[in-house]
Structure 1
Amino acid sequence: MRVVGSRVLALQQRIGEKFTLPERFKGTFVEKWTTYWKGLVRDYSEVAVGVVKESYAKPKKALFYGTGIVALYQAAARNPGEEAFMTQLRHQSNRMITVAMKQQNPVSANYLLMLERAINQNKLRLLPLGIFTLVWVDLYDADDCTYPAICEYTSVSIWNFHERVIDVGFWNQFWRLKWKMRNYDVNYL
C-alpha cells in the first residue's frame, strides 16, 4: 500500500522539478492559475491514492462500489428515449394488427388505443432521468397557448405527477408496454 503512495509522490516531485514558471510570470494571474491547478491535481491524486489504499484494505467494499458504479453507467448508457418508445410502440401495434378484433385482448388493445390517442393529441411526454425514463400524459397539448394550459395552477404538479405516469423505460425497454402486450391475442386468458 505504501508503494502506490510513494510512486505518486515521486512522480509529482519529478514533474514539479521539470516544469518551473519563468520569472516574467511571477506574481501574475498565470502564477495564480498554475498554483490553483497544481493544488487541484495534488488533491485529486491524494484522493486517488486513498481510494487505492482503501480498496487494498477492504476489497469487498471496493468490489461493491465498483460494481454499483459500472451498473449505473450501463443503465445510463442504455436509457431509452423517444425513438426507442416509438419503435417499440410501432412493433407492438403491428403485432396487434395481425390479430382479428374479436381475438384481441381488450386490456392490450385499450392500452395501445390510449397511447395512440395521447400521441395524436400531442399530450404524451417523456422525462429522461439519467438511468430511466418516465412516460406520462399531460393535461394539455404541448402547443396549446390557452390560459389553462399555461397557468401554473392548472398544470400537473409534482404532488399528482405519479398519477399521470403510464410507463417506465429502463435498459432499452418500456416495461409496462411490454407487460400489457405479453398476452395480446385470443389465448390471453
Structure 2
Amino acid sequence: EEGVWCRSLLSDYREACREVVVGAWERPLKTSVYMTLLGGAWACFHTKPDRSSFESTLLDCSNQLCLLSPWIRSSTSDGHVQSLMKLRNEGRLRYASLGLVCVVYHADYDPDNMLYEAQCSTLSTPWRELPHRVLDIGFTGRWWILGSKMKDYDINKEEFKHLPAHMQETSPPSTEEVERNERLHKESWLALTVEDAVDSEESQ
C-alpha cells in the first residue's frame, strides 16, 4: 500500500514537472519574466543587510562627521546621526527582517530594563505603530535613509543663508572654464622672461 502511494506521488510530481517544462517552452516570454523576478527576489534576499551592518554603517558615519569642524557639518546629517547614536546608546534600536527588506525602528525601552512597563507584553508597542517608528530601511546591501541623510554631509547650508539666492547654489564649471583654468595654472609656473615683462608693462 505504501509502495502504491509512493508511485502515485512520483507520478504526480513527474506530470507536474512535465507541465512546467511544456508551459515554459510554449510561453518563453512569460517564463523569462518569472525567472527574472525570482532571480531578483533571490538577489535581494541574499544582499539584505543585517543588524551588524547597520551598526557598522552608523559608526562610520559618526566618525566621518567627527573628523569635520562643527562649522562645516551638515545640520541634517549631524542631527540624524546624533539621534541614532543616542538611541543606540540607550539600547532602543530594534532590527526586524521582513523578507526581501529589513527595517530598523526605535522602541520605548531597553530590553534589559526591568520596569513593569518595559516587561509587560500587554503594554508593548503594537505592530500597527511600526511605520511611525521606522528609522531606516535596508535593501540590496544599503541603508537608504541613512545614506540620503549623509548626502553632502560636509556642507553646512546654514552658512550660505545670508547670501543672495543666485549665490546660494553653484553649478559645475564648463569644459571651457576648466581648460582655461588649467592653462592659466600651468602658465603661472613658467619662468618669466624679460620680453614677457616688457610686454606686460606695455599692455598696462
TM-score (norm 1): 0.77
- Indicate the residue corresponding to 1:163 in structure 2: 132
Residues 112, 37 of structure 1: alpha-carbon distance in 2 compared, 3 angstrom cutoff: farther
Larger gyration radius, structure 1 or structure 2: 2
2:87 is matched with 118
Distance 1:57 1:117, change over 3 A: same
CA distance in 2, matches of 1:94, 1:41: 60
1:184 partner amino acid: Y
Encode CA deviations 1:85-118: one digit per residue, 9 max, x unaligned: 1121122122111210111111111111111111
Q: Which segment is superposed worse, 84-93 or 74-83?
A: 84-93
Give the equivalent residue in structure 1 for 2:109: 140
Name the counterpart of 2:170. Answer: none
Match of residue 107 from structure 1: 76
- Label 1:74 to 1:173 Cα distance change in 2 as closer, same or farther (>3 A): same
Q: Distance in 2 between matches of 1:120 and 1:73?
A: 34
Tell me the SS of whatever aligns to 2:87.
Answer: helix
The answer for unaligned runs of 5 or more in structure 2 is 159-204
- Deviation of 1:46 (Å): 1.8
Q: Quick one: which of 11, 15, 20 aligns to 1:51? A: 20
Q: Does the residue aligned with 1:136 lie in a helix, a strand or coil?
A: strand
Q: Give the conservation status (yes or no) of the 8 Å contact 2:75–2:156.
A: no
Residue number in structure 1 paired with 2:31:
62
CA 1:39–1:138: 2 relative to 1, 3 Å: farther
CA RMSD for the aligned pairs?
1.7
Secondary structure of the residue that 1:140 maps to in structure 2?
A: coil
Task: Give the whole-Å Cα distance in 2 for the aligned partners of 1:46 and 1:165.
Answer: 47
Matches of 1:108 and 1:85, distance apart in 2: 16
Whether the 8 Å contact between 2:76 and 2:149 is mirrored in structure 1 is yes
Please report how far the alpha carbon of residue 36 of structure 1 lies from its aligned counterpart in structure 2 after TM superposition.
4.3
Equivalent residue for 1:172, pick from 129, 138, 141: 141
Shift of 1:50: 0.8
Shift of 1:183: 1.4
Whether 1:39 and 2:5 are equivalent positions in the alignment is: no
Structure 1 residue runs of 5 or longer lacking an equivalent are 1-30
Number of aligned pairs?
158
Cα gap change, 1:114 to 1:40, in 2 (>3 Å): farther
Identical counterparts, % of pairs:
27
Partners in 2 of 1:150 and 1:105 — Cα distance? 38
Is 2:96 the partner of 1:127? yes
Residue 150 of structure 1, CA deviation: 2.3
